[in-house]
Structures are given as structure tokens and as C-alpha cells.
Amino acid sequence: MGGGPSTPELVAAVSNACGLGSLGAAYLTPEQITDTIRRIRSLTNQPFQVNLFAGGWDEQAHGDSGPILDLLTEIHEALGLAVPTAPVSRPDPFPSQLEAVLDARPPIFSFTFGIPNADAMTRLRKRGMLILGTATTVEEARLVAEAGVDGIVAQGSESGAHRGTFAGPFESSMVPTLELVRGITAVVDLPVIATGGLMDGRDSTAALRAGASAVALGTAFLVCPESGAPEAHKQAILNAKQDKTVVTRAFSGRPARGLRNLFIEKLVERPDAILPYPLQNALTRAMRTAAAKQARPEFLSLWAGQGVARARALPASELVKQLLREM
């Protein structure tokens, strides 16, 4: 939900409806994190969580940018953008983002892409925050548990957007949600939050019966009016009549699930042209931003999980109530 969809209004609406709203803050500056949390608190007095990417950032990432620049030059011209230039490696934003989170003290902090170091975990605990960590395999769940979290988010293979895998190749992490929940609960004595392909009350109930203590839904909330997802993204989800999602590195250099579109198709036969994360992510940002403004879904990262065809454009509070009724 990072990159815009999880607005303060969406977070607060879910929390006010007795769910747990979540702020995807991975692409926010420290100042934006501070301001956004302040805004959330002005809209709700209920608990909420803040999520950051705690790993996966390679400041030494490099690659031949020639092939992808050739492709993007054509697309930039179609979007009326300047000719793209090779991306420059930048420092990992996590340390400074974490400081903003520590200062703001949200009730719950969650992380993905890795595990914060021991010092960071100690500081989070001292600030009184509950801590949730993401695992895509049983082995990752063991590592996250050893780091001292209060709960584990089990990200199944059906999940939309980026894979949180950090302890092996992502191909080995493509474990279906319910299977992953059963595997983790069998070896880790912590609450498990199931996520991935959960779109309605029936899905949620199945996850709880598999051993989860709670469920986390992302794609289901992307089309809510409070969501900050681009309108073209929302329409693509609502127009999906069946699951046409694929896992791709095309937009960011890191495996992520979304609706197949023209940009993904252009890189299917040219995987070597894709730069590693975060370089590819930086290089495609201008294209994605312009595509959102111009309603050009063919050049947008249309993140969505399996089950996308069952999305419902309801206000967030109504969707929470509907999920509860279905359960």
C-alpha cells in the first residue's frame, strides 16, 4: 500500500470501523511520515500501524542501463517527458525514516524486505510499539521471531505488490497463503496475520481456520474512495473480470504482483534489460507518475493480488462492515 494508496483518510476510516488501518510509509520522507501520522491522529483515536521497507536496498547496485533507457526513451516521448537518464544510487532511506517513526510512536510498527538490526528493534520496543515482521517462508518466520517481534505477517504467494522475501530466492517463497499460515503456526508460537489473495469474509474465515490470528487485506481496499491509488489503477482493478496478475520485476527491479500490461509485456522477452532494485524503481518513477496523471494504465504499476476480480468499490468503513457480515 506504499506509494500513495494508504492515505490518512483510508487508514483512519479502517481504524474507526474497528479494523487496523495501515500506513505504507516506505516512499515517504521523514518529514512526510511525521506529518502523515499527525494527520492520522487528527482523524482517529484508534490504533493504527506504520510499515517500512527494512532491507533489500543495495547502495552498490549497478547494471547496464543502455537497453532499458532505449525502451524508456520511446515511452517518455509518448508521455511528453524529457529523455530519461541513468539512475544514480542513493543511500538507504530506512534509517532516517525509522527515526521519524520512533519520534512519532505509532501504536504498531511493521516491516518487510528484511529485519531491522538489533539496536533498531530495541529502540522500537523501548518506545512501547508493538512490532510485526513479514515472512514469506517458514524459515523467514523463524528469523523474524528470533528478532523479537510480537507477531508475524505471513505473506502468501497470492499477495499483490512486492514480495517481502529476504532469506532466499523469491521463487522458493511462492507458498500459498493458507499453506504458509499452517506452516508458520506449527513452528512459531506467535500470532500470525495472514495476507495474500484475501478479498472477502469467506477468504478471511478460511485464513482464521488455518490458524491465523488476524488477516490483512490490501487489494480489497485499493478501490475505496479514500484510497490514494491513481484512478486508472482503480479502474483497471474494477475492470478485471478474472485474475490476470503476474509477478514481474519490470517496474522496480524487485518481484511484485500486478495486472499484466504493455510495459510488463515489453520486458517479458528482455529480462536482462531490467536493472536491480532500487535503480529500476528510480528509473521508472517519472513514467509511472506521468502515466497516473494522464490515465495511461499501460505504463502504470497496477499492483494487485490474486482474487482481484472480486474487488468492490465501497467506502472503507462499509467494506470493513461487509467483511464482518460475511464472516
Contact (CB, 8 A) for 54 and 109:
no
Cα 12–14–17 angle (5° rounding)?
Answer: 105
DSSP string, 255-323: -EEEE--HHHHHHHT-GGGPPPTTHHHHHHHHHHHHHHHTT-GGGS--B--TTGGG-----HHHHHHHH
What strands, in cross-sheet order, belong to the sheet with 245-248? Answer: 161-162, 256-259, 245-248
Contact (CB, 8 A) for 162 and 113:
yes
Q: What does the alpha-carbon distance between residue 163 and residue 144 come to, in Å, rounded to a whole number? A: 16
Contact (CB, 8 A) for 158 and 197:
yes
AA letter at 143: L
Handedness of CA 72, 74, 78, 84 (dihedral sign): positive
pLDDT by position in tens, the chain (length 327): 999 999 999 999 999 999 999 999 999 999 999 999 999 999 999 999 999 999 999 988 899 999 999 999 999 999 999 999 999 989 999 999 999 999 999 999 999 999 999 999 999 999 999 999 999 999 999 999 999 999 999 999 999 999 999 999 999 999 999 999 999 999 999 999 999 999 999 999 999 999 999 999 999 999 999 999 999 999 999 999 999 999 999 999 999 999 999 999 999 989 999 999 999 999 999 999 999 999 999 999 999 999 999 999 999 999 999 999 999
Contact (CB, 8 A) for 271 and 249:
yes
Contact (CB, 8 A) for 119 and 78:
no
Cut 0.85: pTM above it: yes
Q: What does the alpha-carbon distance between residue 159 and residue 286 come to, in Å, rounded to a whole number? A: 25
Strands 130-135 and 214-216: unpaired
